[in-house]
Structure 1
Amino acid sequence: MKLRTRLFSILLTTSLIPILIFSVISMSLSISISKNDIYQSSQDKLEVVKAEINGMLEKNFNTLHMVANQPAVGDFDLNSAKNILVGAANVNSDLVIALDNAQGEQVAKSNDDAFTNVLEREFFQQAMNGNEKYVSDILISKVTGKSNVVISTPVRDRNNKIVGALQASTELSKISDFVARLSQDGTKVYVLSRQGIVIAHPNIEYVEN
C-alpha cells in the first residue's frame, strides 16, 4: 500500500472514531432525555388524574357526611330519612345510598331495591368502629349481583353515639365511564384495588374479567 493511501486511511480512521463516539453519546443522551420527558409527562398526567379521582371521592363523602348529620337520619325517622336519601342521590346520580341500623339491616334506601343485611361487610364494620371515610374493595351486590365499590361513614344519634352506618355504592361500570373521560391524548387511565385488581378501566371487559 502506498504511503499516501496509508496516511489517508489513518487520517480517515482517526477522524471517524471521534465522530462515532460523539454520535453514540448524543444518541444515548437523546434517548435518556426522551425517556425523562415521557416519564415527567406521565407523572404530570398522573397527578391530574389523582386530583380528579380524589375530587370525585371527596364529593361523594361530602354528600354522605351531609346526609349522616341530618337529625332525621340519626333518629331513624325512616320516612324523612328516605326523602333525604332520595334527594342526595338525585344530586349524585351515580350513587345508591342506604341507611343501616346497628344490626346491619338496611332500613332506608335512595332507590327501590330490596333491603339486605350488611353486618359482615367490612365497610359496615369500619363505620361502626368510627372510621369516617372508608372505601371498600370490589364487592358483589347481594341485591343486583353487580360489581361495585362502597364508601361508608358512621351515623350518630343526638348524644354522638354511633347507632348505624350510611353507605353509598357505585357500580364499577360507572367508575369506568369516569376514567374513560380522563383517558385522552394516547393516555389510558385505570384504577387498581388494594389487591391489584382492576376496578376501573376505559375497556370495561378488563374490569369484568
Structure 2
Amino acid sequence: MPQPLNYLHESASQTAGPYVHIGLAPGAAGFEIFETELGTDIAGPNAEGERITVEGIVTDGAGAPLKDVLIEVWQANSAGIYAHPADRRSSEVEEGFRGWGRIISNFDTGLFSFETVKPGIVPGRNARPMAPHLNLWIVARGINIGLNTRMYFGDETDANAKDPVLNLIEQVNRRNTLIATREDRDGKVVYRFDIRLQGENETVFLDV
C-alpha cells in the first residue's frame, strides 16, 4: 500500500555543479557545438537607444569572486517594450532585438561583462511605471536554486524613486544594492553592478 504523503521525504538538493556551462554555454567551456550560441546578442544591430556595457563581479559571503557564474538577462528595449508575446506591443520591437542574453563570468577574474541598450520605462501592475531595469537570473556552483534580482540605473533617480519594486525595500542601503553606477570610459557608457550573495551589503534577491 502506498505511504501517505506525509511520510515522504524531501528529495536531495543539487547545486548547478561544474557542468552548467557545458549545458547552457558550451562555447565558454571549450566545446564548439553551435555556430552561434544562444544569448550572445541581446539587443541586435538595429536596436535604438543608448548603447551600454554592463560589468561586475559576483562575490560569496567571504567577499571572494565566483569564477564560474552564469547570468541570464531579460530586458525591454529603449521604448520599454519586451520582445515577448505577453507584451501586447511586442510587434513594435526592432528586428533582431531579443531582449534576452546569457553571460559567463571570466574563469580567471570572475568579471562578467555584456553589451546591450539601456531599457526604457516599463508599464507595471495597475499602470504603475517601473524604472528602467534589467532582470537577472544567477546560477553557479553552490547555488541550489537560481537567484533572481534586478539591476537599476544610478542616473535614473526620478524614475527609481517611483519604482514599485524598489519602494518595497524599506532600508535605503538595501535598496542601493540594486542600483548600478555609471561611468564614461573611453567614449563608452559602462554601468558597474557587483552582486553579493551573502554577508554585508548582500544584494536583494526577489521571490518570483
TM-score w.r.t. length of structure 1: 0.22
More strand by share: 2
TM-score (norm 2): 0.22
- Higher RCO, Cα 8 Å, sep 6+: 2
Instruction: Flag the structure with higher helix content.
Output: 1
Higher alpha-carbon Rg: 1
